[in-house]
Amino acid sequence: MSFLEKTWTWNDMDALATKAKAAGKMIGGFRDDVFSPYYLRTVAQKMYNAEGTALGYTDDKLFVQ
């Protein structure tokens, strides 16, 4: 699987992280202020409402595994 294929899923990322951990490595660089809004966009949600005064999503389960 090549890096950054459009067909990648979160399960692919999990498998890659598991493989890296088994090799004594880690995947890093996921800053919460960058990753969380990106993740929400992948599930048709937004981090903040249009006015920027409140959260743009209502289900916190989006962040629970």
State residue 3's pLDDT score. Answer: 60
Give the gyration radius of the chain's Cα atoms. 15
Any residues with CB less than 8 A from the CB of 26 and at least 6 apart, and which? 17, 20
State residue 8's pLDDT score. Answer: 81
Model confidence over 4-53: pLDDT tens digits?
A: 667 888 888 889 889 999 999 887 777 888 889 988 998 999 999 999 99
Q: Find out whether 8 and 25 touch, Cβ atoms under 8 Å.
A: no
Q: For residue 52, is it left (φ>0), alpha (ψ between -120 and 50) or beta?
A: left
